[in-house]
Chains A and B, each alone.
Chain A
């Protein structure tokens, strides 16, 4: 791409916009970003060209309508490298909780004329519909993660997939373990690193917003939670929340079903 700037797009589906903010919250570095790459579509920041052909697309949000499916296929076709950012795009997000509920009942109870709402049966992450080249996890992702991935891509290097357990990062920061010392039901042993071990840093248990780490033993953690007096529904809620469509956390669904039976 010598002589020409890398073309970048930022797309949004169903989400809170918090992951795009990892760009908009860069401070003065935001201006440097706009100088270094050619941002051709990023509606919240100004540029609008949703069907542009680009080198890299960052995609926020999960898919919940038929129009979403058409749009993501077009984005895939127009993108050299597709990066999903955040829990919604990579693991469904909180709104994917409706996948395990009585949706018609939910919609009817919120809206006066539910017929006007057309939603797909399931909320899905981007990788359920198209090939994804890199997934950046977190609810929300932060500026450090996005900058690291973009810098690697601009340098022609494969970005590092951060998939360690949070516990490792927590130890490196010398935080006192909140599970061992205070009996809190910390999700650190199964949660992906990247946030900076923020929750143990303020004296609370990790609640799993970065999704599953690699090679996790969720059943074992669930067993330990039962010794901390959590009932199956509580354990289920710990697992099935911000990243509820992540298959690694699916044992949490079984626990929830058992409880409801």
Chain B
């Protein structure tokens, strides 16, 4: 017989996540009685403030939804608007956009692995603290992050809210000298990315297998980034235009955020979902490193997300090298735009997962309506489900500090991007 034990765990400010959130958890008599992931990031009502704006203002405005993944917001927006205007991006522009996006995956994933997630698995509270014992690994991570930022800046002039992209393509093409210099840096970084996969695969990650539904884009022959159909490992296979027929966002009384569900159930988006559904689209070189590290996808262990991120860094560097070497052909990078009225859809794979946009315009190309579904809104339900399952597997009788750390580790593993508060609700602020 164990005695009754009531535990209240409150984490008023979640550390090492993007944006501001809190966790409230009540365990009573060996059962989880209440579990809330509170989002107190106030809503910014982005969808409304786009209304009445001209189409060409949209890429710079939606970038401001998220400082860590502005490229994703710009790319979902430009593809949606180009669909309305019946434009097809040229192969060169498509390749440049993919390189741009590779830069964002590299910087965002490197930031998450080193500054946000890895300290959990090695017993530190921050990356600078971890750097005292793991100086080479942390420095390698910061170098990879900086390289991703330089790749974004090659096409966008800066890495946060880049200014190079527009509806129709890019304002500017990088010169051959700066492109060649960056290709050389990417080639030097490839072995570092390979070593990173081996390092994260060897971390003492919890082995916690769970049932969940992975959702990601899938393309005929490429690893998905900006094109493809939305698929799941439970049989979903739809065009992005049909998203709203299968996915719904709704309020849950105990939650602070809109939760998206697929046919009524929580689901996973992000790197693990992408690799689970598309590992056959990864290059052989990346797959060989994963095989050597002994990690196999698809994986039901949510903590393999960090390995999926490292694998995607290796892929993104390889892909950027391939595209920068093969798209040397000079020439125009921007197609003239003829606005018209209509509705268009854009869906791309942000570092954190599926980022879905819908816009409608009038005949001048002014925005009449917008809907934006960020990845973290889609993962909300899954995160809460995971915290409950993980803590049960971990053992609710463990000390309070251990339970709190495990819950935080689970949340950080999703790399939640709470700043994408296009949509998040504020329920209650309790800072004590």
Contact = CB atoms under 8 A, between A and B. Distances in A.
A25 B161 contact: no
A180 B6 CA distance: 71
A12 B44 contact: no
B419 A15 contact: yes
Interface string B154-182: 00011111011010000110000000000
Contacts of B42: 14, 64-65, 68, 119
B145 A25 contact: yes
Question: What class of interface size applies to chain A in its complex with B?
Answer: 35 or more
B429 A25 contact: no
B426 A118 contact: yes
Interface in B23-52: 40-49, 52
Contacts of B391: none
A16 B64 contact: yes
B314 to A, nearest CB: 20
B64 A31 contact: no
Contacts of B164: 202
B250 to A, nearest CB: 7
A17 B67 contact: yes
A46 B128 contact: yes
B400 to A, nearest CB: 17
Contacts, number: 186
Question: What class of interface size applies to chain B in its complex with A?
Answer: 35 or more
Interface in A126-147: 139-140, 142
B298 interface: no
B198 interface: no
Nearest to A35: B128
Interface stretch (B14-22, B186-194, B338-346): B14-22
A157 interface: no
A224 B20 CA distance: 43
Interface in A209-239: 209, 233-234, 237
Given A27-B143, A237-B57, A43 B14 contact: yes
A28 interface: yes
Contacts of A109: 48
Q: Which of B49, B61, B251 has the most CB of A within 10 A?
A: B49
Interface stretch (A93-101, A148-156, A163-171, A245-253): A93-101
A175 B308 CA distance: 42
Contacts of B160: 18, 21-22, 25, 140, 142
A195 interface: yes
A116 interface: yes
B146 A110 contact: no
A19 B70 CA distance: 13
B92 interface: no
A79 B171 CA distance: 43
Interface string B241-260: 00000000011000000100
Given A28-B143, A31-B128, A204-B171, A119 B66 contact: no
Contact of A98 (B49, B426, B427): B49
Contacts of B431: 50, 67, 71
B111 interface: yes
Interface of A: 12, 14-22, 24-25, 27-28, 30-31, 34-35, 39, 43-48, 50, 64-65, 67-68, 71, 93-95, 97-98, 101, 106-107, 109-113, 116-119, 139-140, 142, 195-196, 198-199, 201-204, 207, 209, 233-234, 237, 241-242
Given A18-B70, A31-B142, A44-B116, 13 more contacts: A16-B70, A18-B64, A21-B68, A25-B159, A30-B142, A34-B128, A43-B15, A46-B125, A94-B61, A106-B48, A118-B426, A139-B161, A203-B171
6 contacts: A47-B125, A50-B431, A95-B45, A111-B258, A139-B64, A199-B157
